[in-house]
Chains A and B, each alone.
Chain A
Amino acid sequence: MTDRATVYARIIELIEPLNTKKVALTEATSFAGDMEMDSLTVMDLVASMEDEWDIMIPLNLLPDLETIGQVADAVAGLVAKKG
């Protein structure tokens, strides 16, 4: 059973090596704004999350996923749907 808290914790671990600005990571931290990640880094990060949970996060969803919390919601939802 993968609950949202577990997903969130693992997402933080995946982001940490890419957090070059050493921003404090919270639910509300944004990828482009706070962490200043470029679009390529964000896409690579998404790929690593896809592989972590064997899910598919289409790139066209990314404009709606601005913060860590939003990504955690989306991933938890996709994992739950997978069953």
Chain B
Amino acid sequence: MTNPPVLDLLAKYDPLIAEHAGLLSTGIRDPFGIVMEKVLSPTEAIIKGRHTILLGTYNYMGMTFDADVIEAGRQALTDFGAGTTGSRVLNGTYQTHAACEEALKDFYGMSHAMVFSTGYQANLGMVSTLAGKGDFIILDADSHASIYDGCKMSNADIVRFRHNDVADLEKRLKRLPPEAGKLVVLEGVYSMLGDVAPLPELVAVAKAHGAMVLVDEAHGMGFFGEHGRGVYEEQGVADDVDFVVGTFSKSVGTVGGFCVSNHPKFEILRLVCRPYTFTASLPPAVIACSTTSIRKLMTAHDKRARLWEATRRLHGGLKARGFRLATDTPESAIVSVLMPDQETTALMWSTLIELGVYVNMSRPPATPAGVFLLRCSICALHSDEQIDIVLAKFEQAAQMAQLALHEHA
């Protein structure tokens, strides 16, 4: 007996393979294949032998090379070993993990904190565990993939409202049965366009329809609000937000995710949240670095001010040079430059990397509504000189890529 021919399961990706090959055949560098040969600081690396300014790493507060953070990690590596080899609910909770959750509780002024192994898992776990069969999840159309995937994994009914549109959220909430459980999922900062949510209005509408509210502050932690808790703090809605999800891989400078809450039954989630339970916990060194970083971020007022200053310099400089930006004013530490099409975006990106500037290239479906972007994220440690170099390189790249710039009004 001979076996039947094996059907290639990867054949469904042939169109994407062809598209990617087509992009590279124009001679440009692979935007999704960058290798950092050396990382010199939070703002500089060596890429293909070239000294490169990093402007697309979400390393907002520049904590990756902080001396105290590194020392804490070194100590934990020596004291607790390289990894935990276990789940948080079995052998994977060390004193370091408990200390990290204490730091989060202090940072957010909340009574419960749960640390996940990645930010993706934090959203995946919280969204899928909070809403079950018969419940409704109402999410913003521009939500991060981790939120969409959490919806998919839940057994809830999923309702999507137009991005940051309060009236649209209200209209959709009105169609839901009043007796059903509801979770409204929002983000403080949306990472593609760098725009900020009108949380007071959105949260008020959610509460008026009896919904619980989860806010993802991945791109807001560290520099929004008096204590750096995020957009929800800055906009004064802390009392009406039931769950805050965040990540360590942006302002904190490591990797990991978390949820904080004052809900009295919160601790039970450790036993029912599968992306928390069925995976190994973070290595002690990562956790110790995170704890130290979180505690330092509590009082990092100077860095916050510097981050906003550098962001305004970049945003204003690009605008003055005629680039089209996703937000009219700098709303967050993400400055997204609007591009006309895939080819120009790829060429601009490739030219910038050759000129020693790394930004993110973003395209559909990661971006909303068919938008192509060159996305810049600013670090508190970017100097004015670095920002000015970046601005000059952007101008030079636009010329080389024949990107039409607009007269500044």
Contact = CB atoms under 8 A, between A and B. Distances in A.
A33 B162 CA distance: 25
A43 B265 CA distance: 34
A60 interface: yes
A47 B365 contact: no
Contact of A60 (B158, B162, B369): B158
Interface in A28-83: 38-40, 43-44, 47, 50-51, 54-56, 58-60
B162 A47 contact: yes
A47 to B, nearest CB: 7
A39 B160 CA distance: 13
Interface stretch (B171-179, B303-311, B323-331): B171-179
B159 interface: yes
Interface string B347-385: 000000000000000001100111000000000000000
B141 interface: yes
A58 B159 contact: yes
Nearest to A82: B175
A38 B158 CA distance: 18
Contacts of A55: 175
A54 B151 contact: no
Nearest to B152: A60
A47 B175 contact: no
Interface residues of A, number: 14
B157 interface: yes
B159 A40 contact: no
B162 A40 contact: no
Given A38-B364, A40-B364, A40-B365, A54 B160 contact: no
B59 to A, nearest CB: 29
Contacts of B176: 56
A55 B369 CA distance: 23
B175 A59 contact: no
Given A38-B364, A40-B365, A43-B141, A51 B171 contact: yes
Contacts of B368: 40
B160 A59 contact: yes
A40 B156 CA distance: 20
Interface in B126-161: 136, 141, 151-152, 156-160
B9 to A, nearest CB: 18
Contacts of A38: 364-365
A40 B162 CA distance: 12
B151 A39 contact: no
Contacts of B156: 60
A47 B109 CA distance: 38
B158 A39 contact: no
Given A43-B141, A51-B171, A56 B159 contact: yes
Nearest to A40: B365
Contacts of B160: 43, 47, 59
A58 B175 contact: no
Contact of B157 (A43, A44, A60): A60
Nearest to B175: A56
A50 B369 CA distance: 19
B364 A58 contact: no
Contacts of B152: 60
Nearest to B368: A40
B157 A58 contact: yes
A27 B187 CA distance: 38
Given A47-B162, A51-B171, A56-B176, A40 B369 contact: yes
In the A-B complex, list the 6 residue pairs whose CB atoms are closest, starting with the nearest. Answer: A58-B157, A59-B158, A56-B175, A60-B158, A58-B158, A40-B365
Interface of A: 38-40, 43-44, 47, 50-51, 54-56, 58-60
6 contacts: A38-B364, A40-B365, A44-B141, A56-B172, A58-B157, A60-B151
Given A40-B368, A56-B159, 16 more contacts: A38-B364, A40-B370, A43-B160, A44-B141, A50-B172, A54-B175, A55-B175, A56-B176, A58-B157, A58-B159, A59-B158, A59-B159, A59-B160, A60-B151, A60-B152, A60-B156
